[in-house]
C-alpha cells in the first residue's frame, strides 16, 4: 500500500525530523495492523498548547488544552468502513482525516507518566489513527478494552514501551 502521512509543524520542536519519522512510523504501523487495503492519507499537524486549546473549544466545546484531536473524514466502526470510501483524484488515496497533536502536552504527559516523549507521541499517534478508523474508547467498556489492546499491541511491536 502507498499510504501518505503528511506532517506539518506549527510549533517549534527540538528534533523535528525524529518526531516526523516517529509519527509516520506509528501511523503506518496502525494502518498495517488494521489491514487497511487501500491507499490511505492522513494529515497531521503538530501544534502548541494555545492552538489545540482553541480547536478543542471550537470543535468539542471544551476550553482546555488536550493532547491530540482526531477529525475523521469517513465513518468507520472498529476498523470497518460504514460508508463508501472515495479516493482523492489528485493523490489516489482515501483521506482518512486529520490529526492535531500538541507536542508540548505530549512532553508534559511523558514526564507525568514517567516515560519518554517518544513513547507518548507514539501513543497519541496510535490512539488518533485508531479513532480515524472508528475505534472509540468512550462508546462502552468492551470498545475501551479493544482500543487499549490495539494501542498497546502496536506500541509493543514498535518497541515503544513504558520506561
CATH number of the domain to which 140 belongs: 3.40.390.30
The stretch 37-58 carries a mean pLDDT of: 97
Bind-site residues for Zn(2+):
127, 131, 137
Phi, psi angles (nearest 5°) of residue 45? -125, 125
What string of DSSP letters covers 47-91? E-HHHHHHHHHHHHS--S--SEEEEESS-EETTEESS-----TTT
User: Is there a domain that residue 29 lies in?
Assistant: yes
Helix or strand run (H / E) with residue 154: helix 141-157
For residue 77, the model assigns a pLDDT of 94
Contact between 44 and 35 under an 8 Å Cβ cutoff? The reply is no
Q: Does the structure show a pLDDT above 70 at 75?
A: yes
Residue 163 inside a domain? The answer is: no
Q: Is position 84 within any domain?
A: yes
Residue 44 lies in domain = 4-157
Number of domains in the chain: 1
pLDDT at 142: 86
Average pLDDT of the chain to the nearest whole number = 94
Phi and psi at residue 115, in whole multiples of 5°?
-135, 180
Inside any domain, residue 162: no
pLDDT tens-digit map of 5-34: 999 999 999 899 999 999 999 999 999 999
Q: Residue 162: its pLDDT value, please? A: 74
Annotated binding residues, written as ranges, equal: 127, 131, 137
Is residue 40 a part of any domain in this protein? yes
Amino acid at each position: 500500500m502507498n499510504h501518505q502521512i503528511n506532517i506539518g509543524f506549527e510549533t517549534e520542536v527540538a528534533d523535528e525530523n525524529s518526531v516526523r519519522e516517529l509519527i509516520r512510523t506509528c501511523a503506518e504501523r496502525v494502518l498495517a495492523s488494521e489491514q487497511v487495503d487501500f491507499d490511505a492519507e492522513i494529515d497531521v499537524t503538530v501544534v502548541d498548547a494555545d492552538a489545540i486549546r482553541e480547536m478543542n473549544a471550537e470543535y468539542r466545546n471544551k476550553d482546555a488544552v488536550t493532547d491530540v484531536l482526531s477529525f475523521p473524514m469517513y465513518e468507520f466502526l472498529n476498523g470497518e468502513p460504514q460508508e463508501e470510501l472515495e479516493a482523492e483524484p489528485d493523490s489516489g488515496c482515501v483521506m482518512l482525516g486529520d490529526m492535531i497533536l500538541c507536542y508540548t502536552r505530549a512532553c508534559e504527559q511523558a514526564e507525568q507518566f514517567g516515560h519518554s516523549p517518544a513513547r507518548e507521541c507514539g501513543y497519541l499517534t496510535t490512539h488518533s489513527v485508531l479513532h480515524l478508523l472508528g475505534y472509540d474508547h468512550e462508546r462502552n467498556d468492551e470498545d475501551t478494552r479493544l482500543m487499549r489492546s490495539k494501542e498497546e499491541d502496536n506500541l509493543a511491536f514498535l518497541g515503544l514501551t513504558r520506561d
